[in-house]
């Protein structure tokens, strides 16, 4: 059977099942130290989230909050959409495999939905695009929280939000489908400057303001975020910011900072 093989296990996230379980347990234990937040998060329901994609040591806590919430919607398939960091190509690539490897065990790829999306939106498969961390780092979280769901992986490079928004909209129109949009925020500024730039992104997402998104937000997954916001406005979904932090929270380095956030739409 054809597998979408792991490419960043052991670097962006642990390669060992025990280490993955321990890391997620740690994220949840930290969250449980704040019962006011925990009570709010554990009552939310959403089929669409934005999550970061750096190494788990930096952004895993922020992503984990969204993935802890996602099972409340009882999805049967989770569609993960992220930007390409390794190869450039025109458009959107869809993984055409049967299984997606994780250290916790494989997840089935929803081949019926893959074929539907391929034909409906004229999607191609560029194999090299699927050695991509922006999507892969999400899959062990999905396996941990939703052991039996199927997944679909979409990676985009040179394209427009108007190309991705109809895909998101269609997926959310189907029963039992959840969508995960992957992005980090600003890269390698001082902490003060990173927080200034990231605040533009956060406010634009909070208010679903597409114009404000282009007033200084430097999210590397801007295309996917803009597509998600346009779908949210069309579907009258409300955005909720879940968490924001920077790499400085983990590293202590305030001179070269990367920003991370998570949000949901319901």
In this predicted structure, what is the pLDDT of residue 1?
52
- pLDDT in tens for each of the 266 residues of the chain? 599 999 999 999 999 999 999 999 999 999 988 877 777 788 899 999 999 999 999 999 999 999 999 999 999 999 999 999 999 999 999 999 999 999 999 999 999 999 999 999 999 999 999 999 999 999 999 999 999 999 999 999 999 999 999 999 999 999 999 999 999 999 999 999 999 999 999 999 999 999 999 999 999 999 999 999 999 999 999 999 999 999 999 999 999 999 999 999 99
Q: pTM for this one? A: 0.96
3-state helix, strand, coil in the chain (%, to 5): 45, 20, 35
Angle at 54 between CA 49 and CA 60, to 5 degrees: 65
In this predicted structure, what is the pLDDT of residue 76?
98
State the Cα–Cα distance between residues 205 and 43, nearest whole angstrom: 21
Cα-based distances in Å from 241 to 63, 189, 247, 262: 12, 22, 18, 6
In this predicted structure, what is the pLDDT of residue 119?
96
- Tokens 């427009």 locate to 160
In the chain, what is the straight-line distance between the N-terminal and C-terminal CA atoms, in Å? 36
- Count, residues in the chain: 266
In this predicted structure, what is the pLDDT of residue 36?
76
DSSP 91: S
Cα-based distances in Å from 35 to 49, 63, 165, 262: 22, 18, 36, 19
Of 80, 227, 97, 218, nearest to 159 by C-alpha is 227
Cα-based distances in Å from 14 to 27, 80, 103, 233: 14, 20, 8, 37
- Residues 124, 115 contacting (CB under 8 angstroms): no
State the Cα–Cα distance between residues 122 and 173, nearest whole angstrom: 19
Domain 3-265 in CATH: superfamily?
LigB-like (3.40.830.10)
State the Cα–Cα distance between residues 215 and 161, nearest whole angstrom: 17
- Residues 239, 40 contacting (CB under 8 angstroms): no
Tokens read off for 266:
């319901």
State the Cα–Cα distance between residues 92 and 112, nearest whole angstrom: 18
CA atoms within 13 A on the CB side of 194: 23
Q: Where in the chain are the domains?
A: 3-265
- Residues 143, 104 contacting (CB under 8 angstroms): yes
């Amino acid at each position: 059977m054809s597998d979408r093989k792991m490419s960043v296990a052991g670097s962006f996230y642990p390669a060992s099942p025990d280490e993955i379980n321990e890391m997620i347990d740690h994220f949840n234990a930290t969250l449980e130290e704040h019962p006011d937040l925990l009570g709010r998060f554990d009552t939310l329901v959403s089929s669409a989230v934005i999550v970061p994609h750096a190494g788990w040591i930096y952004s895993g806590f922020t992503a984990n909050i969204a993935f802890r919430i996602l099972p409340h919607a009882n999805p049967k398939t989770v569609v993960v959409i992220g930007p390409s960091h390794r190869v450039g190509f025109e458009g959107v690539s869809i993984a055409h495999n049967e299984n997606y490897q994780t250290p916790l065990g494989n997840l089935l790829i929803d081949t019926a939905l893959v074929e539907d999306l391929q034909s409906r939106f004229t999607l191609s498969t560029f194999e090299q695009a699927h050695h991509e961390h922006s999507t892969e780092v999400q899959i062990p979280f999905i396996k941990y929280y939703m052991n039996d769901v199927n997944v679909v992986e979409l990676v985009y490079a040179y394209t427009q939000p108007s190309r991705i928004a109809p895909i998101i909209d269609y997926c959310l129109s189907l029963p039992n489908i959840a969508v995960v949009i992957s992005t980090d925020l600003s890269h390698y500024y001082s902490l003060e400057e990173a927080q200034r730039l990231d605040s533009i992104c956060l406010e634009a997402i909070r208010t679903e303001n597409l114009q404000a998104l282009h007033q200084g937000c430097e999210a590397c997954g801007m295309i996917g975020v803009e597509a998600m916001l346009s779908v949210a406005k069309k579907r009258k979904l409300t955005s909720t910011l879940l968490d924001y932090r920077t790499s400085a929270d983990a590293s202590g380095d305030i001179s070269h900072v990367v920003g991370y956030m998570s949000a949901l739409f319901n």
